[in-house]
Structure 1
């Protein structure tokens, strides 16, 4: 696919493009529009679902999205890649979640369901400003599941029996994202680069958390947010200012992209 882009820039959402109220500030949207005007392709790269990310991206005009931590990738109207978890494995994780007293949400490409309701789950979805999903205990039996989200205060080690087949990312105090073992944000990015003929052009990525580390360490220029984790900063080439303190614009200016 021919293009005239000088390069591509990948943006996480939470703690990165988003402010602390899960919105995109005008100065951030303006910086992204200027980036595109300068012939760089802006791409969202997030653990959120496609519908959540697409809606959030509207102020920026971004129409290329790596979602569900690389498990569902779309450019404009074209699905470039999807990775679906094995139904039996999903059932086994659900059983383990129930045994441990945690809670789990199931993501299809465009929808989310909870296995059961709880005050903990309600509090979590309110905290991240996402509408509470409907309950459907059989959702995984009737839909392809690219990603699960476990709601738990504990670390990922309690799910170590699944580490050979699945990737677990602690993405917040109460959230663990689960995808197939070969899936990361960076693998999703690689599908974008190949499909859009951008493999030989410079790549940049902005992120703040554990699930951003594969892309921050693998693109040509990884940029950690000032509010990011120590691990994200260690994986990045450069650390910009905080997400609510001009971090996106400052990072883009540092590399002469705007």
Structure 2
């Protein structure tokens, strides 16, 4: 029996580049709550960039699993090794690209780049260029972002001990701890509530959703998902434009 559901945002709850859910999606989420099912956001977005939706979620798994909260406060946090942050910054300097970093309260980069700037428009955000970037580097960093294609992934993390790359867009990536990922944050939430992963469902569409979709009891791929996500899903619903969240929850008789 499904007792908790985790939802990606971009390409799942809302169309890319927007922050508004459809009326059918909002209805479906509200019915889940009325039926006693907890609803959580599970996103690669920084905690402070999660949209304020009309529906009240029970909690948020942010930074691709590195910072998890519910309505009572912090459940789990897992920042990147500071030495890896500095090494990744040196690698970016060698590659002549900026590095965006995310602390609990701030997302910023050392300078602007067209592709990296465009990456942030998917979340309807403008990347801040931080005059105090070197000082911000000293704070706990939960996620980093760089605008590179996958062929340069090894260069980006060369010499780093405990970070990995996850991506949902071909031309930029998120960098998180090697012991991180949405599925890690989800397990922390499940432990917090005394739930089993078989009692959890997850919806997603991007490459960074694959691990959580394969991890939970029921993994749902949106119709607009990447092929590798569809291949590991338990069920493929319709697209975000076609109210795929509503359709899947109806299919599984949760609403």
Q: How high is the TM-score relative to the length of structure 2?
A: 0.91
- SS for the counterpart of 1:110 is coil
Distance 1:152 1:112, change over 3 A: same
Where does 1:19-168 land on structure 2 (aligned, <5 Å)?
A: 19-23=15-19, 24-53=21-50, 56-135=51-130, 136-155=132-151, 156-159=153-156, 161=158, 165-168=162-165
- C-alpha contact (below 8 Å) 1:7/1:201 kept by paired residues: no
- Structure 1, unaligned runs of 5 or more: none
Residues 139-148 or 120-129, more deviating = 120-129
- C-alpha contact (below 8 Å) 1:19/1:25 kept by paired residues: no
Structure 1 residues 223-252: Cα deviation after superposition (integer angstroms, max 9, x where no partner): 000000011111110000001111000111
Q: CA deviation at 1:201?
A: 6.1
Residues 180-189 or 159-168, more deviating = 159-168
- What is the Cα-based RMSD across aligned positions, in Å? 2.0
1:14 and 2:14 matched = no
- Structure 2, unaligned runs of 5 or more: none
Distance 1:200 1:217, change over 3 A: closer
Aligned length, in residue pairs: 252
Where does 1:236-251 land on structure 2 (aligned, <5 Å)?
A: 236-251=233-248
- C-alpha contact (below 8 Å) 2:198/2:217 kept by paired residues: no
**Partners of 1:200 and 1:97 in 2: CA distance:** 38
Residues 212-221 or 157-166, more deviating = 157-166
- SS for the counterpart of 1:227 is coil
